Amino acid sequence: MSIFARIRRIPFWSWFWFILGALYFLLPLYATVNFSLRMERDVIGFKAYVRAFEDPEFLETFLYSNFLALMTIVASIILIVPTAYWIRLRLPEARRIVEFITLLPFVVPAIILVFGLIRIYSSPFKIPLTDITILQPLTTFEVGTDILIVAGYMVLGLPYMYRSVDTGMRTVDVRTLTEAAQSLGASWFTIITRVILPNIRAALLSGALLTFAIVVGEVTLASFLGVPAFGPYLFLLGQHRAYEPAALSFASFLLTWAAMGLIQLFTGDQQVSGAH
């Protein structure tokens, strides 16, 4: 059956709702792009984009947010992959509890999370179960603040990363792979890094790029922790200028869609190879 014949078989109301949803999505995007191109009177040009990208603060904040996103992704993989693997292999009864915990970021607002971090780590505290007391609060030096905000971003990205990893592990026989690796003398570290991770790379990429999109556009945690991130920069820019924020918003949209395209590209490659 040709593609045109398949299109003709689609019901009218399916087309209606599809077009309505597309217009709902595309019209605001078109308005943003059109507005960003009209910085000069009666001229359609890219002056707003040029001015936005020439701002040295833009590059500084964008690169810093990319650094935070990379640290968040690495830390999330280190935490979530062994957890999801162990639950699927040895503790299936704990799955519901972990799934409930991963849903909490949808219930607890980011503003409560950041105030909790500030309240706990802005004063000297004692590490539980030890006699070690940290005299310098984490919020008083740059590395400590970076640790706090990465931890906060890990919480915000937890639902997406965990479900991506868990879905990826459903597509492979974790138990059989583990038993085969153990029969060859592989350690647990080797099993996770050289057996499990390569088999769920598409799922990891999906979770990583979703986490990246969250971190780059996040405003609340970065604002209250006082870090020079891209989200607060874009928010403050919108308070004083009109065209440049529209240009950067559209550029961020393109970046997000490029990330989604990478997900589709790598996921499709893995599905094709898996089918063969």
Residues 21, 133, single domain; the answer is no
Residues 85, 120, single domain; the answer is yes
Domain-located, residue 82: yes
Residues 196, 253, single domain; the answer is yes
Residues 59, 161, single domain; the answer is yes
- Planar angle of CA 15, 17, 34, nearest 5 degrees: 100
Domain-located, residue 47: no
Predicted confidence at residue 157, as pLDDT, reads 92
Residues 87, 22, single domain; the answer is no
Domain-located, residue 45: no
What is the total count of domains within the chain? 2
* Interval 166-204: pLDDT, tens: 999 988 888 899 999 999 898 989 999 999 998 988 888
71 vs 240 pLDDT, higher one: 71
b vs e for 222-249, b when ≥16 Cβ sit within 10 Å of the residue's Cβ? bbbbebebbbbbbeebeeebebbbbbbb
Predicted confidence at residue 12, as pLDDT, reads 75
Residues 30, 118, single domain; the answer is no
Domain hosting residue 10, numbered range? 1-36
d(CA 136, CA 147): 14
Domain-located, residue 46: no
Predicted confidence at residue 154, as pLDDT, reads 94
CATH number of the domain at 164, please.
Answer: 1.10.3720.10
* In the chain, % of residues over pLDDT 70: 87
Predicted confidence at residue 158, as pLDDT, reads 93
Query: With 90 as the cut, is the pLDDT of residue 149 above it?
Result: yes
* Interval 105-141: pLDDT, tens: 988 888 999 998 888 887 766 666 666 555 567 777 7
CB 227 within 8 A of CB 145: yes
What is the reported pTM?
0.81
d(CA 118, CA 152): 11
Residues 113, 240, single domain; the answer is yes
Query: With 90 as the cut, is the pLDDT of residue 79 above it?
Result: yes
Predicted confidence at residue 160, as pLDDT, reads 92
Residues 21, 65, single domain; the answer is no
pLDDT band, residue 6 (cuts 50/70/90): low
